[in-house]
Every structure is written in C-alpha cells, then in structure tokens.
A and B are shown apart, each in its own frame.
Chain A
Amino acid sequence: MSKVYLALQDNDDSRYIVEAIIEDNQEATVINQPAMIRIESTGELVVRRSTVEEKIGRDWDVQELHLSLITLGGNVDEDEDQLRLSWNV
C-alpha cells in the first residue's frame, strides 16, 4: 500500500489541524522538520472539519487548509466536511 502525505507550515493554526488529523487517523505518522510538519499515512488520510473545529475552538472552513498547506501526495477528494487523500492501489 502506498503512502499518502501532506505537509503544513509550522504555525499556530496547523497545530490544531495536526491534532485533529492524529485523532482521526490512527495510522498517521507526524514528522517535524524545520518550519514544517509532514504527516503521512498508509493508504488514506482525512482532515475532518468537525474535528478541526473542536480543536481550534471556532468555525473552520475546509478550504482554510490552503493557508497552511505546503504540499500533498494522493488523489484529493474535498467537500464542505472533509478533505480526503487516497491512492487507488
């Protein structure tokens, strides 16, 4: 199974997004690098709006992810409630 990944700028918003990702993706590995945080997982990775809102304590639009996102790998499926990364293999 291939790995999907995303990387975020190491900033205050990302802290909560990462917390949410860890909670929703048991498999995910977090790698801290200078100024950035890389999260990878086998097969699939989901960023869920409801979990991020819980962590960040305010309304959060999935598209706000773009403000902190640096890169990603995988097929993207996005709607109002979540962003999902996956490979078809």
Chain B
Amino acid sequence: MVAKKLNLKDKYRALTRDLDWDYDYSDRKKAFPYEEFEGIKITDWSKWEDPFRLTMDAYWKYQAEKEKKLYAIFDAFSQNNGHLNVTDARYVNAIKVFLTGVSPLEYQAFQGYAHVGRQFGGAGARVACQMQSIDELRHVQTQVHAMSHYNKFFDGFQDWTHMHDRVWYLSVPKSFFDDARSAGPFEFLIAISFSFEYVLTNLLFVPFMSGAAHNGDMATCTFGFSAQSDEARHMTLGLEIIKFLLEQHEDNVPIVQKWIDKWFWRGTRLLAIVAMMMDYMLPNKVMSWKEAWEVYFEDAGGALFKDLARYGIRMPKFVETTAKEKEHISHQAWWIFYTHGHAAGFHTWIPSDEELDWLSEKYPDTFDKYYRPRWELAKEMEARGERFYTKALPQLCTTCQIPMGFTEMDNPTQIAYRSSDYEGEKYHFCSDGCKHIFDQEPEKYVQSWLPVHQIYQGNCGGANVEEVLRDYYKMNLGEDNMDFKGSSDEKRWNEWKRKGVA
C-alpha cells in the first residue's frame, strides 16, 4: 500500500523508477542491445519526465472507467439499431476504410510499443511505452467491437485483417507502420509518438470523429473520443520524448530532425486518405480538410515547432508543399478511389450537387477550376450508363505506395513525377518528399511490396484483376466494391427506410 501522504510525484517515483534495478552480474549493453546503434546518445535516463505521472493502479482505474462508459454506449447503440440513425448509408463506407485501414495500425502500435518498451534503459520510458502498448490494444479491440455492429448490416466489414495485409490501397497504411517498426526504437518513437501522435493523429481522431457524431454515428464517435483520451496522453509523451532526446545530447539534434522530416512527410501522405474521408465521405460536413489542416497542423503544429526552435529544430522539410496541397489533396485522393471503385473494398460515388457546391465554397481557388470538371465528366458517363472505372493498373509511388495521382502544386493539371536510379534500377515517386525519403535509405525501400508490381509478378494469386480481388483479397465482388448506386448496401438501406424500421 502506498501511504496516503505521498504526493503524485513521489508516488510516481516509488511505483516506476524505484522498481528498476542495476545490472551487477550482466552487461547492461547486452540487456539493451538496440539502444545505441541509431546514434542517439542518452547520458541520463533519470531526466525522462512523464508529465502525467500516471501509476499503474491509477491507469487501470481510469481505463476501466473509460471502458464502462464506452461499452454502455455500444450497447445502447446496437439495442437502438443505431446504424439506422446515420445520415445515409454512404457514410458507412468511411467506417469500412477505418476498420481496414486504421484499426490494424492500432494493433501495429500495440506491437511496436510492446517491443520498444523492452528496449529502453530508462524505467520511465519503459513504463510509458508499456501503458501506451496496452492502450493501443484497447483501441483495436474497442474499434472491432464498435464496428461489429455494422458488419451485421453492411458489406465490406468481413475480412478486415486479411484485407489489411493484401489489398492494394491498404499497403499505404500497412507499409507506413512496417517502416516505423522495422526502424530502431528511437526512430519508432519519433515516427509514432511524435510525428504520428503529436503532429498528425489529431486530424484523424478529432475533426473526423466529431464528424461521425454529426452524422449520427455515436458508436464511432465514442470509440474515437475514448481512444483519443488515451491519445492525449500519447501526444504529451511524444512531446516529452522529443524534448528529452534534444536535451540529452546536441548530437541527437540532426538525427531527430532527419526523422521529423521523414515521418512528417510519411504521415502527410497517409493523411490523404483521411482528407478524402472528411471532404467526400461524411454526408454532413463539420469542417473541410483544408480547415482541419489549418487548425490542427498549421496552428497547433506551428506553435509546437516554434517551441522546439530553441533546441535547433526547424519545421519539417517540405512543409511549404503541404500548405499548397491542402487545397488539392482530398480531391485527388477521392478521384483515385472513384476511378478504381471496381477494385476498392468499399463503395465510391459522385458527390451530390449540394456536396459539389459545398466543395466549391470551401475550396474557392481550386475546386471549380480543377475538380468540378472531373465530376462533370463522371456524371456524363454515368448518365450514359458507362460509370467510369479505369481499365489499367496505376503507377505507384515507391515510398508511400499511393497511385501517382498527386500533381505539381504550381501546375495542378500535371502529375508530379520524381524518380531516382539506384544500383541500376529505376524508382518512381509522387513527390519531392517521397523521393527524399527513398534517397536517404534506398536499401530499405528497394524492398517495397508494391501491389501493382506484385500482381504482375504473379504473387497475388490470379491472372487477372478480378481473380486477384476475389481470391487473393477475398472481396465479395459485386457486393463490397463498385459504386454505391445500385449496391446491396443502398438497396437494403432504402428498404429499411421504406419500412420505417427503427
């Protein structure tokens, strides 16, 4: 029993640091073999600060309380046929993207923190990583529970782990985490705790989840916010980690900066999917992607980097590009998926007239000029009964693995092409950022498992796209894929609404 008179700081010390031990009969370096190879210098682990000073007993107490609240809402949601209260059935496709693309990353985060939590010599860091690891496991579990309700009523939820490992566009999030987890433990922390949790997850979990609530999906909103209540702690940890590394040794500064540059860009590309979810997949809009980027990256991230300037850290490389891309990225991403709607495990659609007008209003400088015409063409083709599905496979970026559909920002009707030659092979990239990442570590990215090339190498089962989708990806063709219009999801939805089931 901890005596009542211990204050928070003392209690934290007693229950974390004081549980550590010295290595008197074994070589410390052997106990922590991953600690030095990245070049990071730690002179004093005791300087590690955990700002929330959460001890394990308090951790379990509060997490249990969060779970109770969350599961009460899940129960209410399903007892009340909550799926019938969402704005319209198109919305559910955003949740399919979430389950197949994001929830498996929670699991990867759980594995990643469990691993690095063993690798650090400091007890404070190990405890923080252990808690985060358990949090991330909770996130994937609660997300699966929440979405299992949708699986009873909608297509596309049935095989999410299998799909995550195989489906072409899911190689984007999968390879992001594979990249982080195959790095050393300190790079993993900068990648995930700092760049991902601190700089970027806000964009996924805050405005999008608020959007879920705005579309009547209380289950998703609540698991999102419940997860995000842990993320607030993860973010703070991310900030502390970076300050700790920068304060430990000046030699750490350029290494950390290099990782910030890399992981900021990796994260930016991953967020292209979230951008399209916000602008195109939420029938009721909360804010545009551009607005979310301004609030959660430009303002919040700007303040953060100003704060870090005293350590000699500057804004991430290519941040100027993102200031222009915020006007384009969601439109380009949704067009990639719309034109590949036959090969996606969720439905795609042409935005309604109202939605097109909302996009014009939110993107006055770009939407009518560059993107509305694409939708007019799509509408014309659909009206002729020839809904546009592209007929050949796309060129992919070697680094982010997204089809190379992003344009030059100063010439937005021209695809951006970048390339590098390495040991007699050509590699292609969607952007300066992705090229830069490859050029820094070509030995790593020559191993990129690019879905289009893998299909052509015969490693994805079938001889044609249909076989790959059906047999290798395990999509229910004609049910999971194609346009929302005419889908079974749409038919069932209209039937429920007609019958007034509630």
Contacts and interface: CB of A to CB of B under 8 A. Distances in A.
Interface of A: 2-7, 9, 33-36, 63-64, 66-80, 87-89
Contacts of A34: 210-211, 213-214, 221, 286
B228 interface: yes
B125 interface: no
8 cross-chain pairs, A with B, having the tightest CB-CB distances, nearest first = A2-B303, A35-B213, A34-B214, A76-B51, A34-B213, A73-B300, A70-B228, A69-B232
Given A6-B232, A36-B206, A87-B306, 5 more contacts: A2-B302, A35-B214, A36-B213, A63-B54, A75-B239
Contact of B307 (A2, A66, A69, A70): A2
Interface stretch (B58-66, B102-110, B381-389, B467-475): B58-66
A80 B7 contact: yes
B155 to A, nearest CB: 27
A33 B292 CA distance: 13
B209 interface: yes
A6 B58 CA distance: 22
Given A34-B211, A36-B210, A63-B62, A70 B286 contact: no
A2 B306 CA distance: 8
B235 interface: yes
B236 A76 contact: yes
Chain B binding surface, main DSSP class? helix
A78 B62 contact: no
Contacts of B232: 6, 66, 69-72
Interface in B288-330: 299-300, 302-304, 306-307, 309-310
A1 to B, nearest CB: 9
Contacts of A6: 232
A63 B229 contact: no
Contacts of A67: 62, 65-66, 69, 229
A79 B300 contact: no
Nearest to B7: A80
Contact of B303 (A3, A36, A63, A69): A3
B369 interface: no
Contacts of B206: 7, 36, 70-71
Contact of A78 (B53, B65, B221): B53
Contacts, number: 96
30 contacts: A2-B303, A2-B307, A7-B206, A9-B229, A33-B210, A34-B210, A34-B213, A34-B221, A35-B225, A36-B213, A63-B54, A66-B232, A67-B65, A67-B69, A68-B229, A69-B229, A71-B202, A71-B205, A71-B228, A72-B235, A73-B300, A73-B303, A75-B239, A75-B307, A78-B8, A78-B51, A78-B52, A87-B307, A89-B303, A89-B306
Contacts of A78: 8, 51-53
Contacts of B235: 71-72
The interface centre, meaning the residue of A73, A79, A87, A88 with most chain B CB atoms within 10 A of its CB, is A73
B9 interface: yes
B279 interface: no
Contacts of B65: 67
Nearest to B309: A89
Interface in B1-26: 7-9
Contact of B7 (A69, A70, A71, A79): A79
A43 B306 CA distance: 12
Contacts of B8: 78-80
A66 B229 contact: yes
Contacts of B9: 79
A20 B302 CA distance: 28
Contacts of A35: 209-210, 213-214, 221, 225
Given A33-B210, A63-B62, A66-B232, A76 B52 contact: yes
